[in-house]
Amino acid sequence: MPKRKPLECGVFQDIETAEKYDKEAAGWMRMASKSFVSTARKWGVTDGQVLDVGTGTGSLAVGFARGMPGVKVVGLDLSDVALQLARHNAQESEVSSRVSFKEGDAEDMPFENNRFDLVVSSNTLHLVGNPVRMLDEVRRVLEPKGMFFISDLRRSWLGFFAEHIAASYTPQEVEDMLSQSKLQNWELKDYLFWLSIYPKE
């Protein structure tokens, strides 16, 4: 099916919508966080700075801080409403001393070059207007030997029932984006319902 344009609902405008998402996605995001943390440990990441791009209500950022006590995490999102809830979630999980949140654009990140040891992102690529620019920014803010783990939904016939799937990309489209971007040494894995981008081993 053809891709739908990026969703306006990708940026939360009101606290009620953000809270509803936070509750509905809690279980799935806990599982996603465990997968991201497990992968980071496999790569030997035990300390340093982690950036979560498109952090939303902060589930992945908080999950990293809870699962990896040696890291400091920054969550980036365009929605001030979502970030208010993310800060609350970090406090509730008692990790606010190691997690901070910043309002900003994934296509123009408000960070200096080579700052982060690891950049992660879950279900954000299909929400940005220029995903190649986001990938370029991931490369820019990463240390030269930094790692990245970007996961997103995969477009399929399920998009007839779910707008986020309809707005996501096919494996070939993501490969084309990666080839156009400054991100190097990448590997794309197709898991049927979602796609993940890792450094090539």
Residue 90 sits at the vertex; the CA angle it makes with 101 and 103, to the nearest 5 degrees, is 15
Q: What is the pLDDT averaged over residues 124-140?
A: 95
The predicted model scores a pTM of: 0.87
| Structural domains in the chain, sorted by start | 8-199 (3.40.50.150)
Longest dimension (CA), the chain: 45
- pLDDT score of 127 more than 80: yes
Q: In the predicted model, what is the mean pLDDT of the chain?
A: 86
Taking only the tens place, the pLDDT of each residue in 67-80 is 999 999 999 999 99
- Residue 11: predicted pLDDT: 63
Decide if 120 contacts 196 (C-beta within 8 A). Answer: no
